[in-house]
Structure formats: structure tokens, C-alpha cells
Amino acid sequence: MRAYGNAPSASTVMASNIRKAAIVMMSLPSDEAADIMGNLEAKEVESISIEIAKLGRFTSQDQEEAILAFADANPHALGGSIGGLDAAQALLELALGDGAGGAVASVRQSLESLPFGFLKDVDPQNLLTFINDEHPQTIALILSHLAPAYGAQVIAGLSAERQLAVISRIANMGQTSPEIIEQVESGLEKRMAAVVSQSFAAAGGIPSVAEILNVCDRQTEKSLLENLSQDDPDLVEEIRRLMFVFEDINKLSDKDIQAILKNVETAQWAMALKGVSPELREKILGNMSQRAAAMLTEEIEYLGPVRLSEVESIQSQIVDIVRRLEETGEITVGGGADGGGDALIS
């Protein structure tokens, strides 16, 4: 497989290139990615699929660094995305058809060797029983290696004080030494009669907090962020940015989108809508008058290829406007589309 980049160390280059290749595959339409995967050797397909399954959410900056030339030539692929086992399995099935079973099993086996992988079949409430009295840093280390939905269930079972302590530590966690992870994991395995021995992986950070809070109940989320903002308002601001991304506008009601349209300039929309999903573009255009929608479409096409960083900057400005409108009660983030409401704006 052709390598991406020119780093000098062979082992570092291979790991870096596999990750970049995985990001490229996740940035392409699934059928195109499957066509490419179908032309690779079996070992290469397996390596990239394992990396896709390990990716989780990756940022637009990751994407820009890995495939800037591709992004410029294919602006529809801009924006962050999410990997995971389901994404890897879907891609393998498209690429290999009936022969995907063995590759999927291999990918799954590789994932099970990740830190705290033995907990995937443990009920969150059972885990909570074992770690409820642990130090918040220990709980944070464990939850940062687990799926966000799983971590949210554990967080919900903690007291408000311990919720805040754990979330704060996850948000400020960087890479943890392999020895510490192994010690915590080994002790937990013994206490829970687990059998899998694990190794090092980086986890934690603000994206982990955002993903966990996204699947927490609204009351838990609100309480945590309000308490956390008293100590670190800048941290809360970063978490909120990741909790609501630009593409989430597609989930808002028509009435709320019309309120947003009144607060955003047409030129901002033209840049922000470069590379978004067709569904989101149609959602925005559908809440404009025919004349305004035609003018915006023309302006988007007139822009031509644009840099990802410029698109993200405008999208962030609009996300800030969305959050401000939510705080003032003018819109409700998280509500379903109502398909009606105020008259369309021109």
C-alpha cells in the first residue's frame, strides 16, 4: 500500500500512515472506500479496518492534516467523522462481501485486547458497585477507556460531587503511563474475576467528556457543566463546542432553523455549507424563500474549493450563535423537526 507522509522512522511511519489511511477511508463515500479496500491485500485491509474500529471520533484537523489535497479536490468530504467497529464492519462487508466474516472477527479480536476490554460484557451497574468507592482519578482512567454510552451509565450512578470530580479529571487527562493502566486494570480484573490482560492506549481528554455528556440525561449534563464552570469556565466552553457540532443543526426544528437564519449572514452560510451533508444543505435551503435559496446556492458554487480551516472557522461562529440562541431561550437544541412554524424568511 502506498504510504502517506515522509517520516523517517519505519515503525512510526507505518503506524502514522495506517491511521491516515483509515481517516481517508472514513472521509470517502462508503462505496468508493469499499472499492479502494477491495484492491488492497488482505493484511492491509485488516490493518486499516482495525485502525478504523479504533478511531472513535476524529477531528477535522486530523482530516486536514491527513488528506488536505483530497479535501480541496472533494469539498463534500469536509468535516469530522466517527469511526468504530460498526463502521469498520460495514466497510469490510462492502469491500469483501461474503468473505468479510474472518476479517471482522480478526478486527473484533484485536479490539478486545485493548485496555479494559473485558468490561464490554459487564453491566455498568455491576462495574459501578466495584469502583464507586475508588479515587475519582481511578474511575476517570477506567471510564476514559470505555464507550461513551457505557461511561454515561456509570457516571449517572455516582453522587453529584463525585460526578464533577470524575468528569474534571477525564477532561484534563492526557496520556497515562502503561504501568499505571496495567496496575489499575489488573486489580479490577482480579476483583471482577476477569481473564483478559490488556496493554497501553491513550484515552481521556475533552472529546471523551463531550461524548459522555452527549448521552447523559439532560439534568446530569446541566448540573455537571454548571458546577464545572465555577472552577474552569474555559474548559466548559471547549466541552460545549464538541457537544454540539455544526452538522447537528440538521436535528433542529424548522422553526429553530429559521431563528438561526435571521442571525447569520448569507455569506457565512455560503462558506459554512461547503462540504456538509446534502441533508443539512437541503434543510437550510428548505427554510429559505426560493429566491434566497437560489442566491445562496449560486454563491456556494461561486466560491469553488475552499480551505477546511476557513470552513470550520465560519461553522464555529454559527455554532456559537446557536448556543447563544439556546441560552436565551429562542431555540431548543435537541428538539425534533416540527416541519412548520413561522413564515419562511427571504
* CATH number belonging to the domain at 246-327, selected among 1.10.150.670, 1.10.10.10, 1.10.220.30, 3.30.70.980: 1.10.220.30
Q: By three-state DSSP, how is residue 194 classified? A: coil
Task: Tell me the one-letter amino acid at 346.
Answer: S
Under 8 Å between Cβ of 41 and 80: no
Arithmetic mean of pLDDT, 148-161: 88
CA angle centred on 285, ends 280 and 289, rounded to 5°: 160
- What span, in angstroms and rounded, lies between the C-alpha atoms of 288 and 268? 15
Q: How far apart are CA 300 and CA 285, in angstroms?
A: 12
Q: Which segment, 22-31, 73-82, 195-204, 229-238, is predicted with the most confidence on average?
A: 229-238
**Strands 57-58 and 81-82, sheet pairing:** antiparallel
Whether the predicted pLDDT of 263 surpasses 60: yes
E strands along 207-289, which residues? none
CA–CA distance, 271 with 129 (Å, rounded to integer): 50
Domain 117-241 and domain 246-327, same fold? Reply is yes
CA distances from 272 to 43, 131, 186 (A): 39, 44, 48
User: How much is the mean pLDDT over the chain?
Assistant: 74
Exposed, middle or buried, 164 (CB in 10 Å: 0-12/13-18/19+)?
Answer: buried
* Count of beta carbons in the 10 Å neighbourhood of residue 44: 14
pLDDT at 344: 38
**Segment 186-245, tens digit of pLDDT:** 888 788 764 333 333 445 678 788 878 777 776 777 788 888 888 888 888 888 777 777
- Say whether 42 sits in a helix, a strand or coil: helix
Confidence of residue 69 (pLDDT cuts 50, 70, 90): very low
Grid coordinates of 234:
474555559
Q: Which CATH architecture has domain 117-241?
A: Orthogonal Bundle (1.10)
Q: What is the pLDDT of residues 93-117, one digit of tens each?
A: 665 565 556 655 665 555 555 677 7
- Interatomic CA distance for residues 61 and 303, integer angstroms: 21
140-149, 161-170, 326-335, range with the lowest pLDDT:
326-335
What's the CA gap between 95 and 103, in Å, rounded?
A: 11
Whether the Cβ atoms of residue 55 and residue 11 lie closer than 8 Å to each other:
no
307/343: higher pLDDT? 307
Report, in this order, helix, strand and coil percent for the chain, each rounded to 5.
70, 0, 30
165: Cβ contacts below 8 Å, ≥ 6 apart: 136
pTM of the predicted structure, to 2 decimals:
0.39
Q: How many residues does the structure list for the chain?
A: 346
| Per-domain boundaries in the chain | 10-112, 117-241, 246-327
User: Is 90 exceeded by the pLDDT of residue 287?
Assistant: yes
